[in-house]
Each structure stands twice: as structure tokens, then as C-alpha cells.
């Protein structure tokens, strides 16, 4: 670890620009336009040390796969240059901090005594430029807000279009992703929308995935839904073949994120493609699988048992939903492979409810804190171990989508860190790529000057 430390010191002192000021731009006449962090984070620190916390999400290698260690560890987290420099034994932390101060480098120790330290949350399904519109132009949902994303504990998001691939554009989504990246989050996006032929930025699905860094696949392409274009099996084969090859050439996961409706056809076309071709199942990523009725939940069970990946949409309080938490409890009791499941928020997407004749009866919107609320529910209400509860929004999606540096807290990983209150699991600190994006409202500047080993 000390060799790595000296490398970091060399980078810092060599004027390489590794610590250039990448903080969010603030419009001087309108402070409400950006999320405002309280003092002392208007300063830049070359090292940040989180001390005294219970750290979850430490990686261990088992059978060539990265997994979590089973239990938390009392470790201090050292952050530098946007990365986790060390998961340090507390007995060494005081000497480390003293050595940094002696070298005239700036360091910020933060005591998070007894609180929960986990990886920042990954949300694979965020309508970052808004969604909806099923009830007419006035029902379009608003764009995402940085402060809401941060308060939901999200440090990595994947932006998406939905029903509307006409008046909502991929170019606008791409710009939004770049904006949120500038402000401290890590962002990717899906190309396409509900319908086939899919909309793209370059005119080709393969070129979008291969040539545009932020695009990791296509989605959300609707199946078995009354808003779907009801693609044929041959059309799906072609798209899956294209995204697989593009993923191979680009080094990305190369998947299609399928929006699943509640029609009786369920995922029949995808089963047929698996039986008739050699396209691997990992290129088919199914979402909304827990919230479309028991028949689709049974399909989800079969899908993950043969190695497929399912995404569950977090329960929405406004709709009094409990399907996702109930399904996770059921699958855990049946000892199904939970690593094959992610949970996303569907944030800023519309939540329309229809009656049996297809008439819209209610309308609401997903919020970005729903994934965190799922974790809170599992741990506080159903007594899940924290390491199990967080996997659906950390290690599982990061590993499946090949999001390098995400999903774990370990040396060399991106410094995406979420500190939760030990009592109610509400977020105290949110750190994205080494930038402190959220602090508790009660934090005072002078509290950060105090540190005892």
C-alpha cells in the first residue's frame, strides 16, 4: 500500500493536473440551479479519510468471480485522486494522516464512527430527461434533479428513454448524462426507446455502442406491453446479434434492456430465441419483472435459474406497492441465485395504472430514492444482512454491466462511497469519484478539524 501511496504523492506534487478543480460550475446569480454543498467543501482536498465506520462491500475473489466479504470490517477508507487508495487498519491511520500533513499535502479526516459505509448505489434505469406523456403533453414528467439523485444515494446512473422516443431525444439524454458526470456522478446510457425500429444517434445500433463511450447497450425496448411495437422474433434476433458483436468490439457488456409488460405473451419470444440460436442469455436484460403479476415473477424465477439477469423496479410508496420486496423475500427463502437480480428506481418515469379495459385510472412518477428505500426495507423490516441487501444496487448491476471500478469498496476502485446512519440507514455522506456531494445538515466546519486516532 505504501508504494501506491508514494505514487499518488508523486502525481499530486508533479503538477500533472490529477487534482484539477472539477467541481460543479455554480451560476453566481442563481445558486439554486446546482446542488450546493455546505462548507468546508468549497475547498479542494488531496486526501479524504473516513474513520471509524463499519465497511461493507469489500471485494474478495472466489472462483474467479468478485464477491463481497460476508461480514463488515472496522476499516478506515482513504480516498485520493478519485480512487480508493487504501482500506486501512485503524491502528495505522493516525501515522498516515500525520505523514500527509508533514508533506504539506491537504487532507480531510471525517469521523463516521459506527455508521455504515457501503459502495455508492448504481441505478440502471433513470429517465434523466423525464419520461411519461401517456396522458397527453401535460403529463410529461420533469427532468432529473442532481440533488434528488444524490439524496437517494446514487453515484452511478444509466439514463434511458421510454415510451416517447419522438419528442424526447437521445442527443438531449447524452448531454444530460455529460452534465451529471461533470457534477460528480458517473453516467452511462441506453440507446433506443420502446419501439422498433429503434432510434439511434448514429443511425446504427452497432455504431452507437461501438463509437459512443456512454452507450452500453439498447433499451428500454418494450415487449408484451400495449405500448410496444410488438417486434417479431427475427427483428429481435437481428438486434441481439448486433448488440452482442458491438459489445465484443467495444469491450462493453452489449445488452438489450427489455421493458416487460403484463400481456400473456410474457417473455416467450426470448425463450424461443435462446432455444433456436447460440446468442448467450447475458445479452438480454429484463426489467419490471417483479411488478407485472405472478406469471411474470414465475418467468423471472426460471430466467435467473438458467443464468439470465432480471431487473426489479423498486416499490413505489405512492402506489402502496410491495411486489419487489415480497419477491426478493420469496426468492431468498427459496435460495435462488440473487446475484442475477438488480433493483432500479425507474426514476422520473411515469407510473401509469390502467383498468382491465385499458383506460388510465391513475398516474404518478418514480423517484430516485426508491432503490435506497428497498435496502432500508429489507434490512430494517425484514432483517436482511446489509451485505445481502445492498448487492441489488451495487455489485450485481456493476458486475453484470461490466462497469469498471463500480459496485465495491476496495483499493483501486472508484471512490463512490455512501455513509448511512447506523440507526435508520439514511444517507449522511455521499461521495462520487472522490468528490463529497452530500454532507449531514448538522456538519460544522470546525468538526472536520478534529481527529483522534
Let me know: does 344 contact 287? Beta carbons within 8 Å: yes
| pLDDT the model gives residue 21 | 43
Contacts of 379 (CB under 8 A, 6+ apart): 385, 386, 389, 425
Residue 346 falls in the annotated catalytic set:
yes
Let me know: does 274 contact 233? Beta carbons within 8 Å: no
pLDDT along the chain (453 residues), means of 10: 49 42 42 44 80 92 59 92 95 93 90 96 97 79 94 98 91 97 97 95 97 97 91 97 97 97 94 97 97 94 98 85 94 97 94 69 83 97 96 97 96 97 96 93 51 35
Q: Do domains 38-118+407-449 and 121-400 have the same CATH topology?
A: no
CA dist 121 and 118 (Å) reads 9
CA dist 71 and 68 (Å) reads 8
Which of 76, 242, 315, 346 is the catalytic position?
A: 346
Quote the CATH superfamily of domain 121-400. Answer: Metal-dependent hydrolases (3.20.20.140)
| pLDDT the model gives residue 291 | 87
> 341-344 and 309-313: which strand pairing?
parallel
CATH topology of domain 38-118+407-449: Urease, subunit C; domain 1 (2.30.40)
* Strand arrangement, sheet containing 116-119: 73-74, 54-55, 116-119, 417-420, 427-432, 435-438
The neighbour count for residue 210, using CB atoms within 10 Å, is 19
| pLDDT the model gives residue 449 | 42
Q: In a 10 Å sphere around its CB, with 0-12 CB exposed, 13-18 middle and 19+ buried, how is residue 230 labelled?
A: middle
Q: What is the 3-state secondary structure (H, E, C) of the chain?
A: CHHHHHHHHHHHHCCCCCCCCCCCCCCCCCHHHCCCCCCCCCCCCCEEEEECCEECCCEEEECCEEEECCCCEECEEEEECCEEEEEECHHHHHHHHHHHHHCCCCEEEEECCCCEEEECEEEEEECCCCCECCCCHHHECCCCCHHHHHHCCEEEEEECCCCCCCCCCHHHHHHHHHHHHHCCCEEEEEECCCCCCCCCCCCCHHHHHHHCCCEEEEEEEEECCCCCCCCCHHHHHHHHHHHHHHHHHHCCCCEEEEEECCCCCCCHHHHHHHHHCCCCHHHEEEECCCCCCHHHHHHHHHHHHCCCEEEEECCCHHHCCCHHHHHHHHHHHCCCCHHHEEEECCECCEEEEECCCCCEEEEEEECCCHHHHHHHHHHHHCCCCHHHHHHHHCHHHHHHCCCCCCCCCCCCCECCEEEECCCCCCEEEEEECCEEEECCCCCCHHHHHCCCC
Segments making up each domain of the chain, as ranges: 38-118+407-449, 121-400
Amino acid at each position: 500500500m505504501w508504494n501506491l501511496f508514494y505514487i499518488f504523492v508523486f502525481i499530486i506534487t508533479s503538477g500533472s493536473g490529477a487534482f484539477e478543480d472539477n467541481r460543479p460550475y455554480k451560476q453566481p446569480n442563481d445558486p439554486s440551479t446546482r446542488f450546493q454543498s455546505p462548507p468546508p467543501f468549497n475547498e479542494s482536498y488531496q486526501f479524504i479519510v473516513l474513520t471509524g465506520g463499519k465497511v461493507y462491500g469489500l471485494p474478495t475473489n472466489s472462483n474467479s468471480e468478485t464477491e463481497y466479504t460476508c461480514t463488515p470490517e472496522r476499516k478506515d477508507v482513504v480516498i485520493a485522486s478519485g480512487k480508493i487508495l487504501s482500506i486501512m487498519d485503524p491502528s495505522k491511520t493516525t501515522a498516515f494522516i500525520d505523514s500527509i500533513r508533514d508533506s504539506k499535502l491537504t487532507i480531510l479526516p471525517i469521523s463516521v464512527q459506527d455508521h455504515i459505509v457501503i459502495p455508492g448505489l448504481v441505478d440502471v434505469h433513470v429517465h434523466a430527461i423525464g419520461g411519461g406523456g401517456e396522458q397527453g403533453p401535460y403529463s410529461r414528467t420533469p427532468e432529473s434533479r442532481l440533488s434528488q439523485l444524490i439524496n437517494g444515494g446514487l453515484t452511478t446512473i444509466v439514463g434511458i428513454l421510454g415510451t416517447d422516443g419522438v419528442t424526447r431525444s437521445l442527443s438531449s439524454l447524452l448531454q444530460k448524462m455529460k452534465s451529471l458526470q461533470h457534477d460528480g456522478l458517473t453516467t452511462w446510457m441506453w440507446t433506443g426507446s420502446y419501439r422498433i425500429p429503434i432510434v439511434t444517434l448514429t443511425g446504427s445500433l452497432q455504431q452507437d455502442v461501438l463509437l459512443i463511450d456512454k452507450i452500453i447497450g439498447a433499451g428500454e425496448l418494450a415487449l408484451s406491453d400495449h405500448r410496444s411495437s410488438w417486434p417479431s422474433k427475427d427483428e429481435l434476433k437481428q438486434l441481439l446479434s448486433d448488440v452482442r458483436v458491438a459489445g465484443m468490439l467495444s469491450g462493453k457488456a452489449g445488452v438489450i434492456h427489455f421493458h416487460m409488460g403484463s400481456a400473456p405473451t410474457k417473455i416467450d419470444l426470448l425463450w424461443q430465441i435462446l432455444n433456436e440460436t447460440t446468442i448467450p442469455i447475458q445479452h438480454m436484460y429484463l426489467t419490471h419483472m417483479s411488478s407485472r403479476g405472478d406469471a411474470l415473477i414465475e418467468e423471472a424465477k426460471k430466467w435467473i435459474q438458467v443464468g439470465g439477469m432480471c431487473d426489479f423496479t423498486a416499490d413505489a410508496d405512492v402506489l402502496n406497492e410491495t411486489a419487489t420486496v415480497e419477491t426478493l423475500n420469496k426468492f431468498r427463502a427459496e435460495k435462488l441465485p440473487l446475484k442475477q437480480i438488480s433493483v432500479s428506481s425507474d426514476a422520473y418515469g411515469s407510473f401509469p395504472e390502467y383498468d382491465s379495459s385499458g383506460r388510465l385510472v391513475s398516474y404518478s412518477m418514480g423517484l430516485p430514492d426508491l432503490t435506497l428505500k428497498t435496502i432500508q426495507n429489507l434490512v430494517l423490516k425484514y432483517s436482511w444482512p446489509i451485505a445481502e441487501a445492498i448487492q441489488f444496487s451495487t455489485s450485481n448491476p456493476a458486475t453484470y454491466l461490466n462497469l469498471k471500478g463500480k459496485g465495491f469498496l476496495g483499493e483501486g476502485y472508484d471512490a463512490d462511497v455512501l455513509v448511512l446512519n447506523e440507526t435508520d440507514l439514511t444517507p449522511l455522506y455521499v461521495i462520487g469519484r472522490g468528490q463529497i456531494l452530500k454532507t449531514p445538515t448538522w456538519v460544522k466546519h470546525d468538526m472536520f478539524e478534529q481527529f483522534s486516532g
